[in-house]
Structure 1
């Protein structure tokens, strides 16, 4: 959600920044733009189309400069139109880009209008630009670094910003609070970005700014101060993990590529796991995990569904009480904190604003035992939790999460086994059996992926529908939820998921011939109950599309369409059963001609509330 790239150099950096925006397209955006210092003038290009259109504008106009900033915007304040696209100018002197939301923008807008500033956009970002300009004149004696520091103390909300002024060539200032921002270090040149991926191939040396940091970039180096204006020394990290990550290869979309990368992603996530031990989650994890008496899982979207799945494992295998909360709701209700609970936050990016805020709220209530399940080692979430497990899914470009979800499930299953072992509920034979099944998952997933041709045939039918119902029972109810989410995210078909036993309590009223009902049917203890629920659907003329394990004895028939899963996988079955649901959503979206990797109105990394 929104992307920032900026640079100071002794060469034209505009093409580097536009390429950086292209690398950030996966985050989701409605408009894009770039501004550069051309001699003593601010020049910019903006587009409400894709980055490719912006690149064409830049080439046609010859826009270039050695000091520049660029942005992809996901609209919050103001429609996605050119006048609201970043970079935003103030008085033809200041150029600024911004990720996040400024909560007190209305009060600041009125104050600035009183000072004579005119607003041409509906964005909260223009408030920041004018505020920096005002402070620069009246309180900072023309010092942009000081003006930005003063401005950030007036801002309420979340932000990452990059700003330069025409009077100070080779000088860019960045600041962050609640939204990620990194500094890229070069030789006689320096960079800013909201994601290190934007600068892949340009530098591999990065500083991850901390909450409240303000940084100034010059040709000679980088100066950073913390929220108290004290000089700050931040660790320089070498990040080289992105090579080849954005290449599509033989696949039609990134989502398809990432679905088929799941066997490798699971194998990488399991790499080095020779035994179930607390040290998988950190060197000092044994003491913490041995003392907690319950779990509180906080997550959003797909990650929330991975938490719901883990709840079944944690309570049945580890015998530990587990509560799963939607992170965006948790901090806005009165809850009863338990200092002995382990707070688990789950996020692909590790920068999800709602989940980060929920973590901070939990810590403010006295929760000290924290653990992150995350795909990014350098993320704020990993840095702010005591323990963590890295999922090693690799870069995920498609907005609809696939391999991040299954690797989260693998990590959460390892956490389940660790807690079970510490609590005396996992003997050596059980441990070896579970580890064997985990190691076999990549091969099992490859067998599921081989079902793609059958799923494509179903997708052609689904593409003509407007609604769909997903059913699951027990451990597979969260998988039904995830399947419905995937279908609605990328195909724009309205989809709902229910526990199959809830059919008679309302959803059955929706069932007609026009309503496809997708059923997740593993051969578990609830399969006979599930068969009864399926008959309820058939009795009302509903069309059943069933992903059934081989030994469930569910066959094709009138109004019942069955794709046979290769094998039953016990407690790990959700990891296999979600893959055909991903493929069904993907191929349905392809058949409907939607923008699979960048669905409308959605963003990959949700860094605002």
Structure 2
């Protein structure tokens, strides 16, 4: 997501900070800034826009000093703007802070600090940290950082500079990556290794709940509780391009493995006391939520498939009629919407031209529009009435992975929130759903541990020219996404079918040896799914089945099985899609194509 850099040494900090941030531009960002101690005060320069805009801004007023921190921001709390850019200062400009992640309890802390007289200049959660540093300062920078960190809930990586002790930088990691670079009479902090690789290959990688106190000639590691941490320096052998990918061969694989974190981040701050709470993001009152008579999901490609899952989820939980529309068709069919219709537009970039046109069409007809997007301040986010952000972070690979699973998480949260407001979700059911949602990150990691099994299957199908995906209910929606991924990346022709439709003509295409991927995670239709598998097996298909752990039935009807951790049936798509992504990745690799940049495709489609 955002980029953090820090420098302390015997050189001018500005040069490294700008250079280090430039090595993190692949992460995506919308603003940038630096804070440098010049011997008398902490000087700050920051701006909305690109790193080049920041460099131009300070070119006529060079920032002197040999200790500083820098940041590139991917907007979360608050739109992209100069005021919301990092670093953030406290009111007396004694502390400067850069931050990656999300502070879940920032509103409570902000209200507390405002009551004490602190004045806030931005919409961010990060400014709370700077103000809290000033409020809790006890004369010792390190002990104050520990006290502040213990007040924060959520995921965060921090770089902190103080005028009180200008010979130190303090770095803190809690569920958001941070590395410390060790040089000669100079040391570095960064959110990712590429930022420092030109200057040193010796690094410490902080673990959750750890902090580093960094001076010009020393690095001390400890836990937030004060226990000393002894760790060997790691020697980085990667080249810069590999480092940008976190050691993975492709951005797509990196992003597949980032899904547990993306799920955690998207859930963060939206569950309180075992209840889904979106009241700070959705402006509709309970009465207005009860008055919704119809919902329409409108999106393109992978986001459309998230909308298909949304149809099942919202109809199942909130008992509201739901339609799912392809955005490029929506406004040309004269859709029937009014003020009692909620239109949910889904777009990773927030700039998808067809989706934006559909949003405007819906608003022109009086509908209320809710956007699900990954980009704060995007066109879709600005024009919608309400916005739910997916905290997936920048997605570099063209084929979407973590953006899709994050969209699903928001759909589940929306479904639970609407159902609760309409009095259709008992405390027991809500608790069960929330518990299962919170288990998804760990379960996603368990699915990823099956990578080698998935790889072997994917490489075996790479020689084929045709493949079928089958599923019923939610599994059909996931089958469509799996098929799209395989086509996008490997250029193998594949089709996804609702399994019950096979007997209506498509069985004619099943022949000896053809691969079929059959998803069987939905208990209510498992018997029917097994019957459909028998139909393709009888005609010579080679079937890879997907089943929940503990299954004893589906495995009898297939040639191979991939097991998915047991979860609530509605949530199964999050886990089922991950091995499908891996199959597409390895099939593409086996066929020798470009994983991150499939032919004829663009990451953000801004034309009709």
Regarding TM over 0.5, the answer is: yes
Aligned to 2:208: none
Relative to structure 1, the CA distance from residue 427 to residue 261 in structure 2 (aligned partners, 3 Å threshold; closer, same or farther) is: same
For residues 194-213 of structure 1, the aligned pairs below 5 Å read: none
Relative to structure 1, the CA distance from residue 449 to residue 409 in structure 2 (aligned partners, 3 Å threshold; closer, same or farther) is: same
Relative to structure 1, the CA distance from residue 203 to residue 556 in structure 2 (aligned partners, 3 Å threshold; closer, same or farther) is: closer
Give, in angstroms, the shift of residue 25 of structure 1. Answer: 11
Secondary structure of 2:503's counterpart equals: helix
For residues 158-307 of structure 1, the aligned pairs below 5 Å read: 185-186=53-54, 188-189=56-57, 244=192, 247-272=244-269, 273-274=271-272, 275-284=275-284, 286=286, 288-307=288-307
Aligned to 1:482: 481
Q: Give, in whole Å, the separation in 2 of the partners of 1:182 and 1:289.
A: 39
Q: Give, in whole Å, the separation in 2 of the partners of 1:283 and 1:348.
A: 22
Which string of whole-angstrom CA distances, capped at 9 and with x for unpartnered residues, describes residues 346-368 of structure 1? 0111111110011011111222x
Aligned to 1:344: 344
Aligned to 2:431: 432
Residue segments in structure 1 that go unaligned for 5+ positions in a row: 1-14, 27-180, 192-200, 210-234
Q: Give, in whole Å, the separation in 2 of the partners of 1:24 and 1:606.
A: 19
Aligned to 2:11: none
Q: Give, in whole Å, the separation in 2 of the partners of 1:238 and 1:421.
A: 29
Q: Give, in whole Å, the separation in 2 of the partners of 1:490 and 1:329.
A: 25
Secondary structure of 2:332's counterpart equals: coil
Aligned to 1:319: 319
Relative to structure 1, the CA distance from residue 189 to residue 454 in structure 2 (aligned partners, 3 Å threshold; closer, same or farther) is: same
Residue segments in structure 2 that go unaligned for 5+ positions in a row: 1-17, 30-48, 60-69, 82-120, 127-156, 158-189, 195-242
Matched, 1:396 2:382: no
Give, in angstroms, the shift of residue 247 of structure 1. Answer: 2.2
Relative to structure 1, the CA distance from residue 328 to residue 310 in structure 2 (aligned partners, 3 Å threshold; closer, same or farther) is: same
Aligned to 2:147: none
Q: Across the two proteins, how many residue pairs are aligned to each other?
A: 409
Q: Give, in whole Å, the separation in 1 of the partners of 2:276 and 2:72.
A: 37
Secondary structure of 1:279's counterpart equals: coil
Q: Give, in whole Å, the separation in 1 of the partners of 2:415 and 2:340.
A: 17
Q: Give, in whole Å, the separation in 2 of the partners of 1:426 and 1:238.
A: 33
Give, in angstroms, the shift of residue 514 of structure 1. Answer: 3.6
User: Any conservation in 2 of the 1:372–1:382 contact (CA below 8 Å)?
Assistant: yes
Q: Give, in whole Å, the separation in 2 of the partners of 1:347 and 1:358.
A: 12
Which string of whole-angstrom CA distances, capped at 9 and with x for unpartnered residues, describes residues 534-565 of structure 1? 00001111111111113432465686222222
- With the length of structure 1 as denominator, give the TM-score of the two structures: 0.62
Q: Give, in whole Å, the separation in 2 of the partners of 1:429 and 1:556.
A: 32
Relative to structure 1, the CA distance from residue 289 to residue 395 in structure 2 (aligned partners, 3 Å threshold; closer, same or farther) is: same
Give, in angstroms, the shift of residue 607 of structure 1. Answer: 1.1
Give, in angstroms, the shift of residue 433 of structure 1. Answer: 1.2
Relative to structure 1, the CA distance from residue 208 to residue 262 in structure 2 (aligned partners, 3 Å threshold; closer, same or farther) is: closer
Aligned to 1:515: 514
Relative to structure 1, the CA distance from residue 187 to residue 557 in structure 2 (aligned partners, 3 Å threshold; closer, same or farther) is: closer
Which string of whole-angstrom CA distances, capped at 9 and with x for unpartnered residues, describes residues 47-74 of structure 1? xxxxxxxxxxxxxxxxxxxxxxxxxxxx
User: Any conservation in 1 of the 2:371–2:388 contact (CA below 8 Å)?
Assistant: yes
Q: CA RMSD in A?
A: 3.4
Relative to structure 1, the CA distance from residue 601 to residue 306 in structure 2 (aligned partners, 3 Å threshold; closer, same or farther) is: same
Give, in angstroms, the shift of residue 304 of structure 1. Answer: 0.3
For residues 13-162 of structure 1, the aligned pairs below 5 Å read: 23=26
User: Any conservation in 2 of the 1:205–1:237 contact (CA below 8 Å)?
Assistant: no
Give, in angstroms, the shift of residue 284 of structure 1. Answer: 4.9
- With the length of structure 2 as denominator, give the TM-score of the two structures: 0.62
Q: Give, in whole Å, the separation in 1 of the partners of 2:542 and 2:569.
A: 27
Question: Which shows bigger deviation, 550-559 or 380-389?
Answer: 550-559
User: Any conservation in 2 of the 1:491–1:589 contact (CA below 8 Å)?
Assistant: yes
